[in-house]
A = this chain, B = another copy of it.
Amino acid sequence: MVKVDKELPVAFEPAQPLRRPVSLGDEVYNALFARLMSLQIPPDSRIKIDVLARELGVSQTPIREALARLENEGLVVKTHLIGYRAASQLSAKQFEDLYDLRLLLEPYAAEKAAENMTPEVLDVLRGLEREMSAGEGDELAYGRFAQLDKRFHDVIARTAGNTLVEEALARLHTHVHLFRLMYHARVTGEAIKEHAALLAAFESRDGVEAARLMRTHIKKARARFAARLRQGAQP
């Protein structure tokens, strides 16, 4: 009981001492996650446990476990005695809520990240920015841009050093990703400029400036999608 103080620091050690074989449930989770993210399983479509079990060649137990996890993350919804189905597309209200929350978290993350910035992380961020710039103009590669952008923000969140904030943001980003795939606003040019400005703030470790830039970045991103939404863009 009093060992709490001893064990907790260990939980933060970077290296995992033992590599356990992954559970089937995890594999199923990853498979489903990928299918949802690629819209291979479209929103609102039913997800049948036994079909998946046959398809993936496993029993129903790991499927259930994976679906339970996905439900908690809001990617699928469950109705008792009816079954699971992929979550609906975000409504306008949910979209606003999501960006409000991002506006609360991401500037903070940027500020902390700027303070904790290391040359290594900076290199990673520069690399991601370079890849995003390289693909500019290529409309087909938008999915790739979205992935890189997600990574960019995830790295910042991780560098901030607050695990809870990092997890909360990771959760949001998956939804943003789905939203993007449906209403793919091809406004990568602006986003790239905003990322570059952020990088400059990170280089000089200016937390206040990084927070400010992130705030405007998120606001502008929201505005870009909101315009798209009002136009009634269809997938």
Q: Counting CB contacts under 8 A, is A124 at the interface?
A: no
Q: Counting CB contacts under 8 A, is A142 at the interface?
A: no
**Residues of chain B contacted by A15 (CB below 8 angstroms):** none
Q: Counting CB contacts under 8 A, is A31 at the interface?
A: no
Q: Which of A58-85 contact B (CB under 8 A)?
A: 61, 64-65, 68-69, 71-73, 79-81
Q: In the complex, what distance in Å separates the CA atom of A163 from the CA atom of B26?
A: 28
| A166 (CB) vs chain B CBs: closest residue | B97
Which single member of B2, B61, B100, B165 contacts A165 (CB below 8 Å)?
A: B100
Binds B, one of A87-95, A149-157, A199-207: A87-95
| A168 (CB) vs chain B CBs: closest residue | B168
Q: Counting CB contacts under 8 A, is A21 at the interface?
A: yes
Given the known A-B contacts A23-B80, A44-B3, A81-B20, are A165 and B69 also in contact in the complex, defined by CB atoms under 8 Å?
A: no
Q: Counting CB contacts under 8 A, is A51 at the interface?
A: no
Q: Is the CB of B68 within 8 A of A4?
A: no
19 contacts between A and B (CB under 8 A): A1-B43, A1-B44, A4-B91, A7-B44, A8-B94, A9-B91, A12-B93, A26-B80, A64-B65, A65-B65, A68-B69, A72-B72, A72-B73, A100-B108, A100-B162, A101-B162, A104-B105, A104-B108, A164-B172
The interface of chain A, by Cβ under 8 A from chain B, is: 1-4, 7-9, 11-12, 20-23, 26, 42-44, 61, 64-65, 68-69, 71-73, 79-81, 88-89, 91, 93-94, 97-98, 100-101, 104-105, 108, 162-165, 168, 172, 234-235
